[in-house]
């Protein structure tokens, strides 16, 4: 797939590099030539450009991209102007970055329904981990449902999912189990994680495994708290 990312701060840079590593075609744009030069070997294409300049932006292959992501964070004015320009140019899918509630309101008024709040989302995930030491990671699917990665409770080690019966007991779905292991890379031991595929009724819960759970946060917390 082809993505255009406008703004190469910490968030935009990380997103562009990861998408490139995943095999996607990425055109990354920033007005800072130094940043563009630093990243040219890590991203499919890098372009130095003022993203608020209509003439410059129209030179990008906007009609061919699967999505344009406005990753500009610090300069809210430039972020909104860039987003408005993409909207005027009829880009089929625009994902905006939001750093304030006011900016979110403006994007909604512009009918930009897709947006990300990296700082807020990261803070929520960290708060969840600090709130309960057994939660390894988490993210919200909607206001009601979350996906949580947590350690297998000791009570269920050695059981199959059929025997543990977590869905009926706690109204949650086990999506997969994840195994952690160490791998030597360039002489260093690196901690890796690997999902074991879609969980089935005969999936065995082993010591050290992580469970990836889908459900309401309150129900997932009941599972964790009841087996402490």
Residue 104 has pLDDT above 90, yes or no: no
Give the integer Cα–Cα distance in Å for 152 and 161: 11
Domain of residue 178: give its range. Answer: 121-226
Cβ 225 vs Cβ 135: under 8 Å = no
Same-domain status, 137 and 185:
yes
Same-domain status, 144 and 98:
no
Same-domain status, 91 and 186:
no
In this structure, which long-range contacts are made by residues 160-169, counting pairs with CB atoms below 8 Å and at least 24 apart in sequence? Answer: 160/201, 160/202, 160/203, 160/204, 160/205, 161/199, 161/200, 161/201, 161/202, 161/203, 161/205, 162/201, 162/202, 164/205, 166/213, 166/223, 169/223
Query: Where among 116, 131, 150 does a domain terminate?
Result: 116
pLDDT category at 53 given cuts 50, 70, 90 is very high
pLDDT in tens, 71-91: 998 788 999 999 999 999 999
pLDDT category at 43 given cuts 50, 70, 90 is very high
Same-domain status, 99 and 126:
no
Give the integer Cα–Cα distance in Å for 120 and 135: 18
Cβ-proximal residues to 72 (8 Å cutoff; 6+ apart), any chain = 6, 7, 9, 12, 51, 78, 79, 82, 97
- The distance from CA 42 to its chain's CA centroid, rounded to whole angstroms, is 20
Same-domain status, 81 and 149:
no
Give the integer Cα–Cα distance in Å for 177 and 200: 10
Same-domain status, 87 and 162:
no
* Whole-prediction pTM: 0.65
Query: Where among 57, 82, 116 does a domain terminate?
Result: 116
The pLDDT value recorded for residue 106 is 86
Burial class for 56, CB neighbours closer than 10 Å (0-12, 13-18, 19+): middle
Same-domain status, 151 and 202:
yes
pLDDT category at 143 given cuts 50, 70, 90 is confident
Torsional sign, CA 17, 18, 19, 25? positive
Number of domains in the chain: 2
Average pLDDT rounded to a whole number, residues 59-67: 96
Same-domain status, 99 and 8:
yes
CATH number, domain at 92? 3.40.50.720
Same-domain status, 156 and 209:
yes
Same-domain status, 84 and 148:
no
Same-domain status, 35 and 90:
yes
Query: Where among 93, 116, 139 does a domain terminate?
Result: 116
pLDDT in tens, 22-39: 999 999 999 999 999 999
Same-domain status, 6 and 78:
yes
CATH number, domain at 212? 3.30.70.1450
Cβ-proximal residues to 31 (8 Å cutoff; 6+ apart), any chain = 48, 49, 50, 51
Read off φ and ψ for residue 55, nearest 5 degrees: -60, -40
pLDDT in tens, 191-209: 777 888 889 999 999 998 9
- By residue count, the chain amounts to 228
């Amino acid at each position: 797939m082809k993505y255009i990312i406008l703004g190469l701060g910490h968030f935009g840079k990380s997103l562009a590099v990861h998408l490139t590593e995943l095999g996607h075609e990425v055109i990354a744009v920033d007005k800072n030539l130094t940043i563009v030069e630093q990243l040219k070997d890590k991203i499919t294409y890098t372009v130095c450009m003022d993203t608020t300049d209509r003439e410059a932006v129209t030179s990008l292959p906007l009609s061919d991209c699967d999505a344009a992501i406005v990753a500009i964070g610090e300069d809210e004015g430039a972020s909104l102007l860039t987003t408005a320009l993409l909207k005027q140019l009829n880009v089929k899918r625009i994902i905006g970055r939001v750093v304030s509630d006011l900016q979110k309101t403006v994007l909604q008024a512009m009918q930009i329904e897709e947006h990300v709040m990296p700082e807020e989302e990261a803070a929520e995930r960290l708060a969840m981990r600090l709130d309960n030491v057994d939660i390894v990671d988490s993210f919200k699917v909607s206001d009601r449902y979350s996906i949580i990665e947590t350690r297998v409770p000791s009570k269920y080690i050695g059981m199959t999912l059929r025997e543990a019966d977590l869905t009926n007991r706690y109204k949650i779905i086990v999506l997969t189990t994840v195994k952690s292991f160490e791998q030597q890379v360039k002489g260093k031991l690196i901690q890796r994680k690997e999902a074991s595929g879609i969980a089935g009724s005969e999936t065995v819960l082993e010591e050290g495994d992580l469970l990836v759970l889908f459900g309401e946060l309150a129900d997932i917390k009941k599972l964790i708290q009841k087996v402490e």
